[in-house]
Amino acid sequence: MTLLSLIELWIGRIGGAGILLCLAIIFFGIFKGIRRFDSTPQQKYIWLLRSPLFYLVASAAFFWFCWQIWRPLPFSPSLPVRVVSLIIGTPLLFTGIGLILWGRFSLGSEYFVSTGRQAALFSDHRLITSGAYALVRHPMYLGILLVGLGGLLLYRTWTMVFISLMYFGLRVRARREEEALEPAFGIQYHTYQDSVPPWFPKIRLSEAKITKSKNN
């Protein structure tokens, strides 16, 4: 085995362990949230979000599908392409894992899950605007996108193509969540929306750099 292959192997293993850790922490939060969840009954499809069976079946189907399509993409990258993929894919993958974990821990006890059709809040829900949520409004979803893109470069499987394309579905889920948060928190949430971007962090230049740029 070449040195490059060995590096790819261990980065892949560590990345896989990080992804499994994210999933374990997320599932722990979901089942913990089910016990606390007492949202109003008039919300549509609320029974799905309150059913442990729903999460078990949906998760089993998701993992089965990902396992079935864990097949290499139909090309063999050259040595330079593998090196570039490793250099770009590694920080993308681990930044994504970090964002997922940071977002999850930033939410703390306010964490729960939504679907493309429904997002619900706890009766005493608090709006979280600190931690990862001071950077972007949907850090965990951004993290999933980065994991997909980084994994695509590192693992080069159809599963990672699927994970990357999940971004478009996550945008729908994000919209459902914002539709639930807006009426619940009103002006507080609108202020948060105005100051924090939904997906990608703002690039803030210091006043000194801005002044220097104008002078030039």
As a whole number of angstroms, the distance between CA 124 and CA 137 comes to 20
Neighbours of 4 (CB within 10 A): 12
Cα separation, 150 vs 200, in Å, equals 16
CATH topology assigned to domain 3-203:
Four Helix Bundle (Hemerythrin (Met), subunit A) (1.20.120)
Question: Tokens 């063999």 belong to which residue?
Answer: 76
pLDDT tens per residue, range 170-216: 998 898 888 888 888 899 989 999 999 989 887 765 444 444 445 54
Q: What is the dihedral of CA 207, 212, 215, 216, to 10 degrees?
A: -140
Residue 53 corresponds to which tokens in the numbers above? Answer: 């069976």
Residue 45's pLDDT is what? Answer: 56
Phi, psi of 108 (to 5 degrees): 60, -130
CA 62 to chain centroid: 16
| Neighbouring C-alpha atoms within 13 Å toward the C-beta of 160 | 22
pLDDT of residue 46: 62
Kindly provide the residue ranges of all beta strands, DSSP E only, lying in the chain, ordered along the sequence.
none
pLDDT in tens, 84-109: 999 999 999 999 999 999 999 998 88
Q: The tokens of 30 are what? A: 């979901």
Q: Which two tokens stand for residue 59?
A: 């998760």
What would the mean pLDDT of 126-141 be, rounded to a whole number?
92
Q: What is the pLDDT of residue 142?
A: 95
Poorest-pLDDT segment among 2-6, 19-23, 195-199, 208-212: 208-212
DSSP annotation of 117 reads S
Per domain, the residue ranges of the chain are: 3-203
In this structure, which amino acid lies at residue 47? W
Proportion of the chain above pLDDT 90, given as a percent: 52
**What stretches of 69-157 show up as alpha helix (H) in DSSP?**
79-107, 139-155
pTM: 0.85
Which of 117, 120, 111 is CA-nearest to residue 183? Answer: 120
Strand partners, 72: 157
What does the mean pLDDT of the chain come to? Answer: 84
Query: How does residue 82 score in pLDDT terms, banded at 50, 70 and 90?
Result: very high
